[in-house]
Structure 1
Amino acid sequence: MCSLKLQLTQLGISQIPQKQTSIHNHTLYPVILHMGSSTFRRRTTTITCGLRKMGPKKPLWRSSFLSTEAIQAVQSLKLAKSPAKLQQVFDTKIARLLKADLLDTLTELQRQNELDLALKVFDFVKKESWYSPNVSLYYDMILLLGKNKLIDKAEELFDELKKEGLQPDVRAYTELIGVYFQVDKVGKAMETYNEMKASGCTPDKLTLMIMVRNLEKAGEEELAASVKRDFEEYVDEPEKFLEEVERKYAREPIGI
């Protein structure tokens, strides 16, 4: 994913208060910037947070910036230390968020690896009247569960995705494959890879690279060789791609 940018408008007074002299007694007073003034509107600060690149761009209904409401929602959720306070946050803040802000709140919780909170917001999203099943929501959660090695829950979400009538795409399959490699379940990773091909979903270069790297790392040379043979079918220049894979192996390990 691209870097996430938070744009916050500076409120109240400027960073270095300007002084203004009273015409009556020469006393210095700070100049306050009012919200409606042109000076106020021009003063903004952009904060950029680096994110892991996670594949295709998100749908257009996800905004490029976190709104003030989304930022406050994330902070309130993290500060709620009891079930009662957490429910209060959902009732007073989360329930009032616009669609884009709610989805951005979920994305930010995933970025911060706030697993429990992300799962709760994810369940809340699925109950909204505007919600329609979306594969990208699922594979982001599968990725998060994989990072936390919660294999059973990741498999549960993958099955739920299918029950929703969604067809897993290459990204969804690749995330699940990555979950299995995280806990050394090589057989399940290979099974999912074969299921992906059988479904008519074409492995992309990232999927192939992850498969070969992790199979060789696990000592499964024959399985790795079988995936390399798939280069002929799925890659335009298989020999060149194989060289690229081997060059990247020499430089650094490939992860999911």
Structure 2
Amino acid sequence: MMASCVFSRWKIPYLASMYFRGVMRIPSKESFLCSRVMIPDIECSSSKTMWGFKQYHDGRPRGPLWRGKKLIGKEALFVVLGMKRFKDEEEKLQKFIKSHVLRLLKMDMIAVLTELERQEEVSLAVMMFKVMQKQDWYKPDVYLYKDLIISLARSKKMDEVMQLWESMRKENLFPDSQTYTEVIRGFLKYGSPADAMNIYEDMKNSPDPPEELPFRILLKGLLPFPLLRNKVKQDFEELFPDQNIYDPPEEIFGLR
């Protein structure tokens, strides 16, 4: 008797709460705001439910810049938009740089550079990097070079890659294996195996120990050039004696 009484006391409020939970909903903050302000572009769907789950729009703008909203301030975002707006008008772009870009703080300049690289505005990113190099706080940083060089190489702007490469070497900086790999791959796609071999020679003089990936990229890209490939193959076998190299039949690649 006591057990049934306790069960009934527990069950009735619980079932009542389950029943009235869907009927007497407290309006959310989003639905209250949407009822007071008519915004046609924002879907006020907090009142719409399906199988007990809310479907709502959180009100945030959708676009490529919103992904990094926590990493980029308003002034930096304004500069990114301004540089993109005037990128085809040299005179207006230089005026905009003098009036707005030079006012940015260090972290805002780095944020602008990173955002331009992310949006694949590599020419503007190079321009921004040159502005940063003239600042009093600038110190040679291999990672700034790395991201910029990789972005240029993937865009096949190899002339600008070599300009940055020479600037980096003047500052006594050596890239890492990923940077060597992307630049070598870029020159091979660009159709310039001689430049790829120059980067390869620079890699061998790097103080960091070599890795396999740039070697394998070269070995694959130099298949139409057997003399250059044999040289890289000999170096690879000396550095990595336990690794194997796949040599496809020569007639497949028209080497005979």
Q: In which range does the TM-score fall when normalised by the shorter chain?
A: 0.5 to 0.7
| Residue 107 of structure 1: aligned partner | 114
**Is structure 2 residue 232 aligned with structure 1 residue 227?**
yes
How far residue 234 of structure 1 moved from its aligned partner, in angstroms, is: 4.5
TM-score, with structure 1 as normaliser:
0.61
How far residue 135 of structure 1 moved from its aligned partner, in angstroms, is: 1.7
Aligned-CA RMSD value: 3.7
Bigger proportion of residues as strand: 1
The answer to whether the Cα contact below 8 Å between 1:145 and 1:151 also exists between their aligned partners in 2 is: yes
**Alpha-carbon distance in structure 2 between the residues aligned to 1:235 and 1:108:** 39
**Is structure 2 residue 123 aligned with structure 1 residue 116?**
yes
Bigger proportion of residues as helix: 2
Segments of structure 2 that go 5 or more residues without pairing to the other structure are 1-28, 39-57, 249-256
The answer to whether the Cα contact below 8 Å between 2:75 and 2:104 also exists between their aligned partners in 1 is: yes
| Residue 252 of structure 1: aligned partner | none
Larger Rg: 2
**Alpha-carbon distance in structure 2 between the residues aligned to 1:112 and 1:189:** 27
| Residue 198 of structure 1: aligned partner | 205
| Residue 180 of structure 1: aligned partner | 187
- Seen in structure 2, the aligned counterparts of structure 1 residues 64 and 207 have a Cα distance that, compared at 3 Å, is farther
| Residue 214 of structure 2: aligned partner | 207
**Is structure 2 residue 243 aligned with structure 1 residue 238?**
yes
Match of 1:66 among 64, 69, 72: 72
Moved more, 230-239 or 121-130: 230-239
Percent identity between the two aligned chains: 31
- 1:72-91 to 2 correspondence within 5 Å? 72-80=78-86, 82-91=89-98
The answer to whether the Cα contact below 8 Å between 2:154 and 2:182 also exists between their aligned partners in 1 is: no
**Alpha-carbon distance in structure 1 between the residues aligned to 2:241 and 2:140:** 33
Segments of structure 1 that go 5 or more residues without pairing to the other structure are 1-12, 20-28, 32-42, 50-62, 247-256
Aligned residues: 198
| Residue 7 of structure 2: aligned partner | none
The answer to whether the Cα contact below 8 Å between 1:162 and 1:168 also exists between their aligned partners in 2 is: no
TM-score, with structure 2 as normaliser:
0.61
How far residue 183 of structure 1 moved from its aligned partner, in angstroms, is: 2.0
